[in-house]
Amino acid sequence: MNVSDTEIVNSILMEDGMEPVNEPEDAEVIFVNTCSIRDNAEERVWNRLKEFKALKREKDGDLTVGVLGCMAERIRDKIMEKEELVDLVVGPDAYRDLPKLLADVDDGRKAVNVLLSLEETYADIKPVRRNDNGVSAFVTIMRGCDNMCAFCVVPFTRGRERSRDAESIIDELEQLSNQGYREVTLLGQNVNSYDDGEHSFADLMYKASQVDPEMRIRFSSPHPKDFPEELLQIISEQPNLCNYIHIPAQSGNNAVLERMRRPYTREQYLDLVEKMREIIPGVTLSTDIISGFCDETEEEHKDTLSLMAKVKYDLAYMFSYSERGRTLAERKYEDNVPEEVKKRRLSEIIEQQMNIQEELNNEEIGRRHLVLVEGTSKRSDEQLCGRTDTNKMVVFDRPDHIGKGDYVEVTISDCTSATLMGDFIKKSSIKEFSQEKVAV
Ligand code: SF4
């Protein structure tokens, strides 16, 4: 979401006559786009701001530093006061105000706008994508969240849910297709709740699939409480809607889920997973897990391990609980699982997950996949890498005349827990590959 927001900020600033530079030393203005989801993310921002303070000194004060995003919203006063680190604090709904706020700073004033909006979706702003791979893009379809999970600061930093109109989203997808992008991830804090007054999220996904049959569509993130079954059907029917779903579980224990204010049970979650696998054979799943939430017992932790063992996620984002100010958990519960217990439980969760991933990746050996090439592999210029429709990274030897943005068919020959290795078969397309699958 922050990558996507930065692209909106690029657009607003460039429209105002500013130009991006690649090195902090060359900049007259530096913005740090921040995340408040965990303490660790905020720590990194403080360190970065200290570095920029030193740079400001080197440049005799000829540098403006601003904080954007969730941290701006959450701790604006602290940011402004702390060692005079920044000149500008701007929340996620106030980016249109940036040119005016920069002018305020030029006039010698500190500038702050952290007002949250009920309407702002930046629908009319054409994002300027500077740092992506030219193949995959993010498109924000809604902002904010009304769910109020007990541990989560997002409803406080990003405000109420609001959806961007489907027409502006489809326009953006058409532009991306014309620019050669081959994969788009539709983003929202809670995409199931998408509703522009005329279209549901399932409607939007169908419309998105029709823009360009050779452009893959992914999405992130849905909520397990109201995942639309109709969408599963649409994914199974449209070859360019990817067979991969990120479905955050957070915990495998009902009492913890209740304390977290996640309104589904372990049983309902498992039923949903079964339905996903029934309607979309071969679908891969990923999840988010929080270990050591308030009052979590050893038995409750084991339930999370057993849920993960049962579902067998292809990927998981696993963290230990980090208390966030203003959340229900902070007000109602004690952050009482000792750090070393949180750490131990998290390492048990990670270890099990790595074993599962390795097992699942081993099962891929011999299978044929359509891979969208994203570029050269990190290890060698002689190898290319890209993702399967099921979101697995594949590395393979670079054939002649194949490059970024091409679809290729590969057979999986080897794996680690994180990556598949493949043998190139031929250049292909979504259409060709899906017809071959039907024929098989
Ligand atoms: S649904 Fe996601 S973004 Fe919304 S409150 Fe819950 S965890 Fe936070």
Binding residue numbers for [4Fe-4S] cluster: 145, 149, 152
Query: How many other β-carbons are positioned within 10 Å of the β-carbon of residue 31?
Result: 23
CA 161 to centroid of ligand 1, rounded, Å: 11
Ligand 1 pocket, CB under 6 A: 145, 147-149, 152, 154-155, 189-190, 223
> Which residue's CA is minimally distant from atom 2 of ligand 1?
189
- Is pLDDT at 440 greater than 70 in this prediction? no
pLDDT of 260-296, one tens digit each?
999 999 999 999 999 999 999 999 999 999 999 999 9
* Best residue for ligand 1 mutational test, from 145, 290, 319 (most atoms within 8 Å of Cβ): 145
Query: Is pLDDT of 438 > 70?
Result: no
- Ligand 1, residue 145: give the atom nearest the CA: 4
| Confidence grade of residue 5 (pLDDT, cut at 50, 70, 90) | very high
Q: How far apart are CA 126 and CA 179, in angstroms?
A: 13
Question: Which residue's CA is minimally distant from atom 6 of ligand 1?
Answer: 149
What domains lie within the chain, and their CATH numbers? 2-113 (3.40.50.12160), 136-363 (3.80.30.20), 368-439 (2.40.50.140)
**pTM, whole model, 2 decimals?**
0.93
pLDDT tens-digit series, residues 364-410: 999 999 999 999 998 899 999 999 999 999 999 999 999 999 999 99
Band (105; pLDDT cuts 50, 70, 90): very high
Rounded distance from Cα 20 to ligand 1 centre (Å): 33
C-alpha 114 – ligand 1 centre gap (Å): 20
Q: Give the closest residue to 141 by CA, choosing from 182, 201, 198.
A: 201
- Of 130 and 217, more confident: 217
Residue 336 has pLDDT above 70, yes or no: yes
132 confidence band (pLDDT: 50, 70, 90): confident
Which atom of ligand 1 has the smallest separation from the CA of 262? 6
What's the average model confidence in pLDDT over 2-23?
A: 95
Q: Would you place residue 322 in the very low, low, confident or very high pLDDT band (cuts 50, 70, 90)?
A: very high
Q: Ligand 1: distance of its center to the CA of 340 in Å?
A: 26
What pLDDT, in 10s, does the model give residues 212-251? 999 999 999 999 999 999 999 999 999 999 999 999 999 9
Query: 410: which strand partners?
Result: 369, 424
Q: What is the DSSP string of 237-288?
A: H-TTB-SEEE---B-S-HHHHHHTT----HHHHHHHHHHHHHHSTT-EEEEE
